[in-house]
Structure 1
Amino acid sequence: MTRLIACFRHRLALITLTLAAAFVPLGLSAQTLSEAVQEGGGIIVIRHALAPGVGDPANFQLGDCSTQRNLNEEGRDQARTIGQRLQQLGFGEAEVYSSQWCRCMDTAKLLGIVEVQPQPLLNSFFHNASAGVDQTRELKNWLLERGADQPAVLITHQVNITALLDIYPSSGEMILIRMEEGKPVVIAREQTR
């Protein structure tokens, strides 16, 4: 009986390790974000700060924040905290690009580091999934053309990050990427709440 239990535990451990390995994104190391940025270069991609809900209301209009899902007070505080963290990481002078959605623009502005540049390639395609493939390809091309010599911060949406990096980020999560062989590679991630 003891031998049977030991065999069962061994098999359970192997299955657990196999399943765990299947969910670790390629390119993700045990490196912390602080350690990774010290190696130089890179782009920090951030999912907008906390904005309760999913998607946008049916009457959504891009230029009208009253028709959109917006940051709550916790989200605004989270964005300020992210800005402080970016300063600590040496990204205080980084170029900041944002989706034109209000929750992203507000997150970017509350970082308090530099002027925010709207970037339509970071706009959500949550309600238009068919646009996602082309938009993600164009975003990858833009990232390649832009280069990674100058640090940058991109504020966008879960759907965009998932399409670009094949990960599911939480609100306000920071993801350091570098372009390797024409593709964005996740170097490190950091939760902010």
Structure 2
Amino acid sequence: MKTVISLFIALATFPLLAAEVAAPAFVEQQVSPALLKQLRGGGYVLYMRHGNTDTSRPDRVPSVDLNDCSTQRPLTKEGRQVAVDVGQAIRKARIPVGETFSSPLCRAKESAMAAFGEKYTVDNLLMYTANMTTDEKQPVVARTRALLSAPVAAGSNRVLVAHAPNLMDLMGYFPKPEGTLVIFRPLGDSFEYLGSIAPQQWKELLN
């Protein structure tokens, strides 16, 4: 009888023990006007999720062709405008942009072009991870971590234009909505998350 009671107690307390060791939920932080001013001095990494997309036209997995945008989930007209608006807001805030990297998918490249112009580098290791196996994700996660961690010279900020699932795989954070800009401080061998700016928050920040 004692064995049965002990087993019951152990099973009853197991969820509590599991909850104690579970990783804390990610807490999104809003960017303050003070941080926005700090970005003017450079040295940060800006991770932009591509603009709004047409979810009724998903990627044609496993037949996605990086050279054929028709096989990929596309930007909407609104999504292109969101990317344009984010780029304009960054310039209005006098935030300097240096090296810019984009995922190879069309929705990211088109967002990079709309926001920052033609001077961006396509990096295949920023590819959308949601359709990948765990093993396939590892190089993408490693490359993203490296770009968020590597020091950035003063007077400039590094920009990545990519996807929400990639950050989810890296740090448990899925930025919403599309077009959100996520700010990081590179620390050399790691990085620090500082805050996020949703597209609709720029107007208040810039006032």
Query: Which bracket does the TM-score occupy, shorter chain normalised?
Result: 0.7 to 0.9
Letter in 1 for 2:92: Q
1:4 is aligned to: none
Task: Report how many residues are paired.
Answer: 168
1:191 is aligned to: 198
Query: Structure 1 length normalisation: TM-score?
Result: 0.76
Mapping 1:11-50, distance limit 5 Å:
23-25=25-27, 31-32=31-32, 34-39=33-38, 40=41, 41-50=43-52
- Cα distance in structure 2, aligned partners of 1:109 and 1:63: 16
1:176 to 173, 180, 183: 183
1:166 aligned to 2:168? no
Letter in 1 for 2:37: Q
- Cα distance in structure 2, aligned partners of 1:129 and 1:23: 24
Greater displacement, 92-101 / 135-144: 135-144
Do the aligned partners of 2:141 and 2:170 also contact (CA within 8 Å) in 1? yes
Task: Give 3-state SS (helix, strand or coil) of 1:90's partner.
Answer: coil
CA deviations 1:90-118 (Å, max 9, x no partner) are: 33543221001000000000014451211
Which ranges of structure 2 fall in alignment gaps of 5 or more residues? 1-23, 201-207
- Cα distance in structure 2, aligned partners of 1:148 and 1:65: 32
1:5 is aligned to: none
1:86 to 90, 115, 122: 90
Mapping 1:1-193, distance limit 5 Å:
23-25=25-27, 31-32=31-32, 34-39=33-38, 40=41, 41-53=43-55, 56-58=59-61, 59-113=63-117, 115-130=119-134, 131-145=136-150, 147-149=151-153, 150-170=156-176, 171-180=178-187, 182-193=189-200
- Cα distance in structure 1, aligned partners of 2:65 and 2:117: 27
Do the aligned partners of 2:126 and 2:143 also contact (CA within 8 Å) in 1? no
Larger Rg: 2
CA deviations 1:121-163 (Å, max 9, x no partner) are: 2111221132223321233234444x22231111001111212
RMSD: 2.2
- Cα distance in structure 2, aligned partners of 1:104 and 1:31: 23
1:18 is aligned to: none
